[in-house]
């Protein structure tokens, strides 16, 4: 079930069956010469929507598609929040969902740069309850799609070299599978991009001139992307079910 294609009365009925919602979350940022700007929000959205297309009854919320991308602002098309804005916005998404009765909110993340701030947002939300000496009323979970069961092994096997950490062939393959009409080609020099630290946008662009970090995106194919999505969906279904079964000691 997709929240944005449902009515309020359908959500009322859903809440009688389940208190769980999956929220894809990512970032809109440059992904090298051939990676789509939406890659980091498209990947979790593609996986969550594929779970829905497979017949899952789990509710999938709208994709939170702008995240922590300040270091990519040297490349046109990148849109970023600062950490404080991102943390505040996650807080209001969770408070909105919790106000309706959602008790388990599962964020399926597509961007490594989001992790620290999502965790900080969770801590802010739990702190509100702790300082008020009341139960939070909800449990939050962060899962990166590349950490879903079986994905690391599969990706290591597919891309023993040239995977890297940004504009990776695995994430680009996933978007190629889902959007075959938007596959881009370019020459790469060097074939495998360099690695290094992440600082501000000017430093990033000087250090990583075409936007890649340690990756060789030409290794991506739509077929490999389809395999990754299949394994990710199976993992997501299991992880979400486990989260829903988790005991609430206050109940
Ligand atoms: Ni990415």
Number of compact structural domains in the chain: 1
Residue 47 lies in a domain: yes
Alpha carbon of 40 to ligand 1 centroid (Å): 5
Residue 111 lies in a domain: yes
Tokens of 49: 């929507």
Residue 151 lies in a domain: yes
Q: Going residue by residue through the chain (251 aa), what tens digit of pLDDT does each one get?
A: 999 999 999 999 999 999 999 999 999 999 999 999 999 999 999 999 999 999 999 999 999 999 999 999 999 999 999 999 999 999 999 999 999 999 999 999 999 999 999 999 999 999 999 999 999 999 999 999 999 999 999 999 999 999 999 999 999 999 999 999 999 999 999 999 999 999 999 999 999 999 999 999 999 999 999 999 999 999 999 999 999 999 999 98
Residue 168 lies in a domain: yes
| Edge-to-edge strand list for the sheet holding 59-60 | 59-60, 20-25, 104-109, 139-144
Q: How far is CA 166 from the centre of its chain?
A: 14
What is the CATH classification number for the domain harbouring 78? 3.40.50.10310
Whether the pTM exceeds 0.85: the reply is yes
Alpha carbon of 96 to ligand 1 centroid (Å): 28
Alpha carbon of 247 to ligand 1 centroid (Å): 33
Alpha carbon of 180 to ligand 1 centroid (Å): 18
Q: What are phi and psi of 163, to 5 degrees?
A: -75, -50
Alpha carbon of 52 to ligand 1 centroid (Å): 23
Range of the domain at 143: 3-245
Alpha carbon of 108 to ligand 1 centroid (Å): 14
Residue 250 lies in a domain: no
Count CA within 13 A, CB hemisphere, residue 152: 4
Residue 251 lies in a domain: no
Is the omega angle on the peptide bond into residue 55 within 30 degrees of 0, that is, cis?
no
Contacts of 65 (CB under 8 A, 6+ apart): 25, 26, 27, 28, 38, 41, 45
Alpha carbon of 92 to ligand 1 centroid (Å): 25
- Between the two ends of the chain, the Cα-to-Cα distance in Å is 26
Contacts of 55 (CB under 8 A, 6+ apart): none
Residue 22 lies in a domain: yes
């Amino acid at each position: 079930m997709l929240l944005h294609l449902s009515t309020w009365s359908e959500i009322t009925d859903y809440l009688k069956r389940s208190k769980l919602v999956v929220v894809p979350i990512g970032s809109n940022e440059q992904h090298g010469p051939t990676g789509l700007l939406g890659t980091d929000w498209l990947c979790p959205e593609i996986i969550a929507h594929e779970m829905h297309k497979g017949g899952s009854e789990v509710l999938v919320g709208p994709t939170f598609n702008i995240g922590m991308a300040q270091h990519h602002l040297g490349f046109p098309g990148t849109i970023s929040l600062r950490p404080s804005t991102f943390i505040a916005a996650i807080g209001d998404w969770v408070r909105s969902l919790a106000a309706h009765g959602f008790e388990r909110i599962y964020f399926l993340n597509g961007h490594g740069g989001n992790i620290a701030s999502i965790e900080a947002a969770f801590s802010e939300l739990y702190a509100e309850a702790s300082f008020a000496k009341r139960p939070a009323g909800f449990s939050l979970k962060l899962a990166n799609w590349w950490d879903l069961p079986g994905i690391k092994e599969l990706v290591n096997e597919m891309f023993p070299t040239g995977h890297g950490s940004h504009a990776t062939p695995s994430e680009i393959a996933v978007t190629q599978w889902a959007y075959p009409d938007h596959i881009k080609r370019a020459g790469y020099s060097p074939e495998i991009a360099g690695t290094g630290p992440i600082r501000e946008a000017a430093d990033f662009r000087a250090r990583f001139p075409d936007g890649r970090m340690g990756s060789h995106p030409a290794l991506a194919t739509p077929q490999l992307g389809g395999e990754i999505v299949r394994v990710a969906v199976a993992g997501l279904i299991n992880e979400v079910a486990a989260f829903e079964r988790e005991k609430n000691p206050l109940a």
